[in-house]
Structure 1
């Protein structure tokens, strides 16, 4: 892997992670790594911060492992994070002899984070390119390879194929496999002529055949006793690597694919899938970070108005009602929130002056509000809105309007169009008057 060529997205991927102390590597699992920087047995924030800063520096400057170790090791030793140490497991209370820092552990930290970051950047660039519809799996320069990884070598599949959700490298500690973006013309050339590969024994380049159909996978069950989760993992994938870090920050297409698959393969269970997604701490944490970032942009004036986050779903009852109104939501039953709505001047101006603007926590709670609020159909204007009316207190309701015919340029998904409080103790247009008007509308849920 050309570690000195790590793109900008890779560095941002690491920098955006929050410190997450953990006793065991099983405490932070699969997709949780997308938002968390963690090292097992690193319970001290200052130690974890030192390691993260060293990784960021290595990515940004193309630092070799020897330089990485030379700079980081003395700091870790000075803070006592080195060698073996008696530690108490906060989950079980058991005292164990834990391996803290070592040259071998630093090598694992360095290589795993750099390779993950590189693949994240590679995935982003590929997904943003209209010229590269395919990804190709390649084994790395290791002397010995895992048998299953060899079976995936030179596999070319569409870049949005679900197989990449499971086998996108790295697929274990020390795994040097990687992916390559492939054009249609290059795919045809590889199919015709084979993929060039250097043979170190003969010192010659040979051509190996490509695969366009993935080998039939075999699975094993793995129980993470610290999280209480049981999952099926493809053979060849190390537990904890059974996810695609490339998709972090690409939550919306991931959720769309998940919902589409559920609708096609088990339509009767779509609402159960939605409830599972709504209860995911991963998406809730991502929404919280999204809102914090928007408020930061309010202050520093560096808003990116393309920023969008998923905040809810159209369940079966809502989608069936919309069909009766001639609105097809297949593939569009994800509700999104645009950063520009949070930054809109009406919330820092008129609504604030009137005392009915949402607070920062309200934006963070949107997923809960949309999940359990009564819903009304508002077709009085050109926009066709679902009105979610969340009761906060006996006299205050939060009105959330979702535009189901959104013409938002980037995603064309139903979006939150407005959100503000109704104080039904007052006789004005955003008080009891508007509340009474909503009560005249058709209630869907």
Structure 2
């Protein structure tokens, strides 16, 4: 890895992770790794901090594994995190002989974190480039390759193809597979002439055909007893690696794919999946950070009009109602919020002057409000879902969602407005508007 350029996004990916002590690798699962730096059996924060610091330096300086080990190993040995040790599992209370630090474990920590960070940076650069509409899967320099990984070798697919949500490398411990950004012209050349590849038998570079059709994956069930979750994982993917770390910070496509899979594979459980996502600390923390960043950007005079985040979902009752109204929301049931709305003059000036502007904490609570509110159908001016969240006997929050909005290329329902209604006062934004809402059709 030391000979590869590590982009800025890769370093930020590691730096932004919070320390998360864990007894088992199953305690921090799939997308949770997007925000958590963890090493199984590293239960002491200072030890975990030392390991993360060494990984960060390795990325910054492009150090080799030997340099990484030489710098970190003495620290871990001095703090007692080395060799085998009796430990008690905090989940089960069972006492086991646990393997702490070792040369082999350091190699795994080094290679997994650096390869994940590199692929995160590679994915970001590809997604930001208008010149590279494709990604190509390549197997690495291993002597022995996993059979399924070889099957994906030289696969070229659009960079937004859902296949990358399942097979984006690394796909297991020691996996050296990677992706390459591909232009339209390069794709056509590879289809015509093949991809250069070294043939060890012939001891020369030859050209091999590319794949442009995704192989149909074979799935297996995996039960994570520590999380209580049952997942269908593609063959060839090590459990815990079946997520695309490249999409960290790209939560909307991740959620879209998650709900799409639920709709296709277990439609009767879609609402349960939505409730799980609504209760996820990952997405709640993401929304909180999104709001904080909006206020920071406003203070710096740099409001980001393009930054968008998910804030809620349309459950089956709402999508069924919209379908009856001629609006197919089955694949569009994520509600999104633009950053500019959080700190726009509409709320900081107009509604603040009227005394009914939402607070910073209200924006952070938006996912809860949308999940708990009564919902009405408002098609008086445009087709909108009106969420009415009761805060007290006389105070409500009115939230409007435009269900026919076109949010850039996403085409998702978009947050439109939010402000307080105080029905203790006779005012345009108080009891009069509340009465108008009560005359609308209630859906939920």
TM-score, structure 2 length as denominator? Answer: 0.89
Which secondary structure state, in structure 1, belongs to the residue aligned with residue 161 of structure 2? coil
Q: Tell me whether 1:134 sits opposite 2:134 in the alignment.
A: yes
Question: 1:6 matched to which residue of 2?
Answer: 6
Residues 350-409 of structure 1 show CA distances to partners (whole Å, capped at 9, x for unaligned) of 54566543334432332222123111233444x543220011222221111212343555
- Whether contact under 8 Å (1:4, 1:59) holds in the other structure is no
Aligned match of 2:39: 39
The answer to whether structure 1 residue 437 and structure 2 residue 433 are counterparts is: no
Contact 1:23–1:89, Cα closer than 8 Å, also in 2: yes
SS of the residue 1:387 aligns to: strand
Alpha carbons of 1:71 and 1:305: their partners in 2 closer, same or farther (altered >3 Å)? farther
Q: Which residue of 1 aligns with 2:162?
A: 162
Alignment of 1:219-368 (within 5 A): 219-260=219-260, 270-271=270-271, 273-298=273-298, 303-322=303-322, 327=327, 329=329, 331-349=331-349, 351-352=351-352, 356-368=356-368
Q: Which residue of 1 aligns with 2:66?
A: 66
Mapped partners of 2:85, 2:291: distance in 1: 40
Q: Which residue of 2 aligns with 1:404?
A: 403
**103-112 vs 341-350, which moves further:** 341-350
Separation in 1, partners of 2:347, 2:40: 43
Residue 155 of structure 1: CA displacement? Answer: 2.2
The aligned counterpart of 2:57 is 57
Equivalence for 2:186: 186
In structure 2, distance between residues paired with 1:230 and 1:330: 24
Stretch deviating more after TM superposition (128-137 or 88-97)? 128-137
Change (3 A) 1:145 1:410: closer
Q: CA RMSD in A?
A: 2.9
Q: CA deviation at 1:442?
A: 2.9
Task: Tell me, yes or no, if the aligned pair for 2:140 and 2:178 is still in contact at 8 Å.
Answer: yes
- Tell me the CA shift for residue 65 of structure 1: 2.1
Cα 1:144/1:260, change in 2 over 3 Å: closer
Paired residue for 2:393?
Answer: 394
Alpha-carbon contact 2:2-2:64 (below 8 Å) kept: no
Shift of 1:198: 1.8
Q: Write the distance in 1 (CA, Å) between the matches of 2:250 and 2:389.
A: 29
Question: What's the CA shift for 1:163?
Answer: 2.4
Contact 1:422–1:435 (Cα < 8 Å) also in 2 = yes
Moved more, 304-313 or 194-203: 194-203
Q: Secondary structure at the match of 2:26?
A: helix
The 3-state SS of whatever aligns with 1:175 is: coil
Does the 8 A contact of 1:134 with 1:157 survive in 2? yes
User: Residues of 2 paired with 1:411 and 1:135: CA distance?
Assistant: 20
- On the 8 A contact 1:306/1:410 being kept in 2, the answer is no
Q: Does the 8 Å CA contact 2:2/2:62 hold for their aligned counterparts?
A: no
Cα distance, 1:205 vs structure 2: 0.8
Partner residue of 1:414?
Answer: 413
Distance 1:408 1:231 in 2: 31
Aligned counterparts of 1:77 and 1:267: Cα–Cα separation in 2: 51
Partner of 1:75: 75
Residues of 1 paired with 2:153 and 2:211: CA distance? 8
The answer (yes or no) to whether the contact 1:155–1:214 under 8 Å persists in 2 is yes
Paired residue secondary structure (2:288) = helix
- Report deviation, 1:325: 5.4
Query: Matches of 1:317 and 1:93 in 2, distance apart?
Result: 43
Moved more, 271-280 or 20-29: 271-280
Q: Is 217-226 or 14-23 further displaced after alignment?
A: 217-226
Shift of 1:308: 1.2
Deviation of 1:347 after TM superposition, in Å, equals 4.0
Query: Partner of 1:256: helix, strand, or coil?
Result: helix
CA distance in 1, matches of 2:177, 2:326: 48
Distance 1:364 1:7 in 2: 31
CA distances 1:293-350 after superposition (whole Å, capped 9, x unpaired): 3344455555533221111123344345445656554643321112222222454455
- Separation in structure 1 between the aligned mates of residue 219 and residue 347 of structure 2, nearest angstrom: 51
For 1:300 and 1:71, how far apart are their aligned partners in 2?
40
Task: Give distance in 2, aligned partners of 1:52 and 1:186.
Answer: 38
